[in-house]
């Protein structure tokens, strides 16, 4: 395969031309949200200039065009995830809504008091709190898969957590806080052997590696468009067809019914429409399709390989900084470098490095239990995307050293 043309890629991202506080922007907050290429940005102008219409109910040209484009993204996502059927793809606002959909619909229909859901210590709050809400409402029990000192899930402990009451494993594919890549295929096999389902939060995996839900044998898989070079407001829940078929709707309204009556029971639409009540984020979903096409054009394997090179160089460079501790040292990591510095508050580092044009994130990364386990309340996190360069990593490292010198 030809080498990645990073300059050519960067030219497609207008935001990368920005200056921040008089410095060229170095955007290392890609795990929070990635930037969008022109092809995605242009989709909005095109949609609102030419065929803005509500979908699925029109019998007019604009409605047909909007519906076709919206539904075309479903095919694109099906291929992106390696799913068998397009009806297994449900559009949501993002990963959070996808997980909440499963909790509300599948959870309420299938879980009873005393049933157990396993989550991992590496989870984002969006894959913890929906299950805690169900614990409060239904009396289910949420159990936690522990991690070792590298931030790697303890698979022996995972196996030992199962009981005959275990109904679901909810785990991320890649940790947003540490970058750990979890062995979800193996975890799915274990879950299925024990009669449980597995829901995988793929928010941080989708931008970095090839996903194949059938190879993993995922029952549910969620991701967000805005972390894969797409817009906010559009995300995906994949669910196996037979599971989605059996699940009740979670929101009622237009678009999700076949017939509504006060006299006989209302009949719901077939999947996936049963789970897409109301007018969706039409332009966003169409733009998500454009983003995934863009990713496919660049090549997800090449994107992952380039980010691995960036991560390696950044890890080597910051490791030389006195008093800097990297959190998350798993052998298999994607795109994320989390660290704390002795004698320097993470927030001060992030604020000062922003003055030099470098955008990194500080805070708990919506993973408070994980950070508490490692004895910190916040880390600095640099996270990479395909348009980042080794030169940016060098500038970042120098800026970091300078900033640490200022605050210590
Ligand atoms: N899970 C993980 C691992 C994430 O990184 C994120 C976003 N930070 C989410 C879930 C939530 O995604 P969203 O806010 O797009 O719903």
d(CA 386, CA 331): 21
Q: How far is CA 357 from the centre of its chain?
A: 26
Q: Ligand 1 center to residue 97 CA distance, Å?
A: 10
Positions in the chain short of pLDDT 50: 1
Q: How many whole angstroms separate alpha carbon 314 and alpha carbon 160?
A: 37
- What distance in angstroms lies between residue 6's CA and the mean position of ligand 1's atoms? 26
Please check whether residue 153 is in contact with residue 124, taking contact to mean a CB–CB distance below 8 angstroms.
Answer: no
111 touches 140 (CB < 8 A):
yes
Look at strands 166-172 and 116-120 and give their pairing. parallel
pLDDT of residue 2: 57
Closest CA to 407 of 339, 361, 341: 341
Note the pLDDT of residue 34.
Answer: 98
Which tens digit of pLDDT belongs to each residue from 103-140? 999 999 999 999 999 999 999 999 999 999 999 999 99
HSE, CB side, 13 Å, CA atoms: give it for residue 104.
12
- pLDDT for the residue numbered 165: 98
> What's the confidence (pLDDT) of residue 3?
79
- Three-class DSSP category at 234: coil
Ligand 1 binding residues, C-beta < 6 A: 94-96, 124, 126, 172, 176, 201, 203-204, 224, 366
Euclidean distance between CA atoms 7 and 392, whole angstroms: 13
**Which atom of ligand 1 lies at the shortest distance from residue 126's CA?**
10
Q: Count CA within 13 A, CB hemisphere, residue 167.
A: 19
Q: What angle do CA 262, 265, 266 make, to 5 degrees?
A: 85
The tens digit of pLDDT for each residue in 250-289 reads 999 998 999 999 999 999 999 999 999 999 999 999 999 9
Nearest atom in ligand 1 to the alpha carbon of residue 94 is 16
- Tell me how far apart the alpha carbons of residues 80 and 289 are, in angstroms, rounded to a whole number: 10
Contact call for residues 387 and 307 (beta carbons, < 8 A): no
Task: Tell me whether residue 366 is one of the annotated catalytic residues.
Answer: yes
Q: Which of 89, 122, 366, 393 is catalytic?
A: 366
In 149-240, which ranges are continuous DSSP H helix? Answer: 155-161, 184-193, 213-216
């Amino acid at each position: 395969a030809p080498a990645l043309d990073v300059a050519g890629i960067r030219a497609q991202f207008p935001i990368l031309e920005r200056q921040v506080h008089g410095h060229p922007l170095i955007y290392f907050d890609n795990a929070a949200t990635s930037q969008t290429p022109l092809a995605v940005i242009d989709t909005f102008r095109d949609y609102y200039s030419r065929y803005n219409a509500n979908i699925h109910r029109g019998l007019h040209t604009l409605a047909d065009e909007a519906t076709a484009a919206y539904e075309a993204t479903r095919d694109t996502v099906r291929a992106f995830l390696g799913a068998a059927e397009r009806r297994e793809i449900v559009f949501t606002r993002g990963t959070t809504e996808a997980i909440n959909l499963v909790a509300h619909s599948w959870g309420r229909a299938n879980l009873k008091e005393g049933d157990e859901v396993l989550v991992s210590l590496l989870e984002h709050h969006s894959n913890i709190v929906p299950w805690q809400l169900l614990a409060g409402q239904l009396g289910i029990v949420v159990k936690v898969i522990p991690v070792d000192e590298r931030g790697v899930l303890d698979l022996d402990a995972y196996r030992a957590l199962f009981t005959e009451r275990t109904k679901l494993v909810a785990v991320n594919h890649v940790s947003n806080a540490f970058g750990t890549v979890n062995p979800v295929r193996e975890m799915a096999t274990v879950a299925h052997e024990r009669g449980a389902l597995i829901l995988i939060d793929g928010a941080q995996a989708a931008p970095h590696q090839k996903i194949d839900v059938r190879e993993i044998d995922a029952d549910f898989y969620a991701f967000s468009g805005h972390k894969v070079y797409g817009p906010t407001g559009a995300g995906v829940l994949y669910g196996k067809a037979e599971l989605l078929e059996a699940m009740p709707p979670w929101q009622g309204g237009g678009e999700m019914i076949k017939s509504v009556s006060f006299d006989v029971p209302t009949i719901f639409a077939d999947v996936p429409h049963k789970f897409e009540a109301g007018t969706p984020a039409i332009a966003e979903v169409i733009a998500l399709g454009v983003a995934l096409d863009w990713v496919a054009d660049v090549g997800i394997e090449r994107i992952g390989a380039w980010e691995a090179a960036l991560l390696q160089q950044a890890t080597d460079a910051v490791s030389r900084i006195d008093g800097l501790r990297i959190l998350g040292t798993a052998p298999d990591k994607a795109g994320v470098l989390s660290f704390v510095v002795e004698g320097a508050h993470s927030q001060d580092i992030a604020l000062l490095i922003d003055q030099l044009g470098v955008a990194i994130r500080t805070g708990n990364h919506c993973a408070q239990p994980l950070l508490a386990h490692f004895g910190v309340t916040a880390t600095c996190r640099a996270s990479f995307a395909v348009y980042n360069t080794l030169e940016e990593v060098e500038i970042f490292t120098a800026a970091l050293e300078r900033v640490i010198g200022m605050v210590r």
